[in-house]
Amino acid sequence: MDGNEQPSRLFQKADSVIEHLRSAGRLDRMFIGGEWVVPGGQDQASVIDPSTEEPVAEIALGTAQDVATAVAAARRAFTTWSVSSAQSRALLLDRVHALILERAELFAQAISLEMGAAIGFARLTQVPSAAEHIRVASENARSHAFVTHRGDMAIVREAIGVCGLITPWNWPLYQITAKVGAALAAGCTVVLKPSELSPLSALLFAEVMHDAGIPPGVFNLVNGNGPEVGAALAEHPDVDMISFTGSTRAGVLVAQAAAPTVKRVAQELGGKSPNLVLPDADLALAVPKGVAAAFRNVGQSCSAPTRMIVPRARLQEVERLALEAAASIVVGDPRSQQTTHGPVANRAQFNRVQEMIGIGIAEGAQLLCGGLGRPEALSRGFYCRPTIFSAVHSRMQIAQEEIFGPVLAIIPYDSVDEAVEIANDTVYGLGAHVQGQDLGAARAVAARIRSGQVHINYPAWNPHAPFGGYKRSGNGREYGIEGLEEYLETKAILGFQHASAPGTD
């Protein structure tokens, strides 16, 4: 389950990302008002390669004053961008989409370097999925009915205004494009604060926006930390909406900071997603795919199905299949073609995963594989051992708390009603999976699960599917038409088609 290969020639390509950004003068700049500008403060942050624990670059951090400058630029640009045609906005998004695909390798290398994604995963999933959000946003801009009629009324859906977008480190480009694409398609202008832990792909994205011909002020990038830049965005009276993806704890702070100005707050927060395996499921298909889904992106996905809820009568078969699936995982240098799973993204996350594995052991869960520490032969880097616990019950911390790493809990049940109860027995409700050969029964169970998405029998990812949470997993939706509509206000114009009004004949 681990690999100890020497850094490959791809390492030089990863280094070229830093050289590109440094030679272009991006690492010490913000993108505000259509220009690369020097921030107002002197603070910097190190970008750490999680595979070596070594710094690879220093980026400039913005200040509250930089946020104010960016918001002012976005406010000026909103006057014209908000009334531009949907077709013109779609054309710009088409150019953005084409440039992302053209520079896909550079983006993949940046993501692998800044947050440890295996290069194959970055190439095949992280970057193409991010590009899809832009393509879908362009399609939606063209097709959405921004004005409809109901009797003598016109119902107008218009851009909400200046939007502050705060994105996380785990899917750095994917989360940026999901928010920026929808906001621009709606006619909003934006100020983006990416995670300071994975800022390289955000800087490359700002280059794409510039090269695509974005009008000055429509898109702005301010790097920085949450307590200063994130809080300044949330508090700013000229920001009309905050879209935040991250932990539930941080989301609460953002909502509290936004409350005095009564701005819209859309949040995609934590999760502890169930994978409910029905008694008739084909375990040879359901279990390996379930392990793969739980450990996708090294388990660093809010919707990862990290609770596999299985029939107690079939528990031993599930355990055997889960162990076989875990044995095929290759943990190692993320720049190696043989690696399937790199390190977790940062030291804080490594420590969190180790802590929760220790808690699972102390709680008495059965450790099937993995455990504390790094995989053998990996002496440095934030590498975690793919870990599977069995005989977990719903009151254990490892069944309730989001771990955000390669840790899977197998929970047995005695009846389908009990399985549904277990699936819903968390404060979260972001994603869920149901496996079963009787599609009618699977649909009935899916209808009873309280979450924003339910996947039956591992369907293909669909960028048009709205994504968001119930309960403490957040509010609002991203992706697809519903993601676009988050950035729109509704205006009713009465008397718009009144029969006695001049010019209505």
Question: So which residues are the catalytic ones?
Answer: 268, 302
Let me know: does 67 contact 233? Beta carbons within 8 Å: yes
Q: Which amino acid is at 181?
A: G
Let me know: does 442 contact 434? Beta carbons within 8 Å: yes
Q: Give dist(CA 71, CA 61) in Å, integer.
A: 16
Q: Give dist(CA 418, CA 196) in Å, integer.
A: 42
Helix axes 283-295, 315-327, angle to 10 degrees: 50
Q: Give dist(CA 182, CA 91) in Å, integer.
A: 14
Query: How many other CB atoms are found less than 10 A from the CB of residue 3?
Result: 17
| Token pair for 429 | 């409700």
Let me know: does 205 contact 176? Beta carbons within 8 Å: yes
Q: Give dist(CA 42, CA 125) in Å, integer.
A: 36
Task: Return the SS3 of 236.
Answer: coil
Task: Return the SS3 of 103.
Answer: coil
Let me know: does 27 contact 206? Beta carbons within 8 Å: no
Strands 387-390 and 366-369: antiparallel
List 219's β-bridge partners, or say none.
190
* HEC assignment per residue over 304-350: CCCEEEEEHHHHHHHHHHHHHHHHCCCECCCCCCCCCECCCCCHHHH
Q: Which residues, other chains included, contact 29 with Cβ-Cβ below 8 Å and sequence gap of 6+?
A: 36, 37, 38, 39, 60
| Token pair for 263 | 């701005």
| E strand intervals along 380-443 | 387-390, 407-413, 428-429, 433-435
Task: Name the nearest CA neighbour of 67 among 208, 238, 210.
Answer: 238
Q: Running DSSP on this structure, what letter comes out for residue 153?
A: E
